[in-house]
Amino acid sequence: MAEPKGLSKPVKLKSDLASFLGATELPRTEITQKLWEYIKSNKLQTKTENGKPENAGKFIVADAKLLTVFKNTNSTSKTGKVTDFRNLKEGETINMMQMASVVGANIE
């Protein structure tokens, strides 16, 4: 059987994400899937930036548990866009398109 590559290859998780997901290594695809399962099961999506959770929309509301993972995010994309959630507070939102930055900041 071929060794997993790319997004299917397991990566080592940093401590906060490992505690959140209950694993030390997972493929990126599974990390994202588990984060979304948590977000959807806890109705942490909203249609407006910093809006109240309403279980739908493109913004993700940071609860206390997600905040431990989000706060590790401080990255700059290849185009120079900065994603910095170190000062994010509980109840504030991130755009769902920023989940890749969150995952990237929480793996080694």
Is residue 16 situated within a structural domain?
A: yes
- The CATH number covering residue 54 comes to 1.10.245.10
Burial class (CB in 10 A: 0-12, 13-18, 19+), 26: buried
Is residue 99 situated within a structural domain?
Answer: yes
Q: Decide if 21 contacts 11 (C-beta within 8 A).
A: no
pLDDT in tens, 32-84: 999 999 999 999 999 999 988 888 889 999 999 999 999 999 988 888 989 99
Q: Is 30 among the domain residues?
A: yes
String of DSSP letters for 15-50? HHHHHHHT-SEEEHHHHHHHHHHHHHHTT-EESSTT
Instruction: Work out the pLDDT band at 1, boundaries 50, 70, 90.
Output: low
Give the type of residue at 49. E
The C-alpha atoms of residue 108 and residue 56 are separated, in whole angstroms, by 31
Q: Which domain holds residue 95?
A: 11-105
25 pLDDT higher than 90: yes
Please give the pLDDT value at position 2. 67
Structural domains in the chain (count): 1
**Domain membership flag for residue 2:** no
